[in-house]
Amino acid sequence: MKKNQAVLLVNHNEFLTEFQNMLKEHKSQMLKEIRTRENNQPFTIDEISKFFKCSTQTIRNWSAEGILNPIYVGHRVYYKADEVNKLLNR
């Protein structure tokens, strides 16, 4: 065991509050990165999966379900930054 590990006891409400704060921070970082993209540059499936920390198949499933609307350019698939922003603000 590492020397700097510790056990922290918290109740259910404290855990939920801390978890919600972490989610808000992560969401704000993602929104900041989306807004700094030049000229509303589209995202690739890989970029979106890294943002949401999910698999590329999940992104494809969201496309099939209409949660995200893909843009096809040749054999490549992109997503507008506005679409990703809408998904984050649900």
Q: Please list, in sequence order, all residues whose beta carbon lies within 8 angstroms of the beta carbon of residue 18, skipping any fewer than 6 positions away.
A: 10
Query: What is the reported pLDDT for 1?
Result: 54
Domains assigned to the chain: 12-88 (1.10.1660)
Q: Is the pTM of this model over 0.75?
A: no
44: part of which helix (H) or strand (E)?
strand 43-44
Cβ atoms 62, 77 nearer than 8 A: no
What ranges in the chain are assigned the alpha helix state H? 12-35, 45-52, 56-65, 81-88
pLDDT in tens, 25-77: 887 877 777 766 666 788 899 998 988 889 999 999 999 999 999 999 999 99
Strand partners for 79: 43, 70
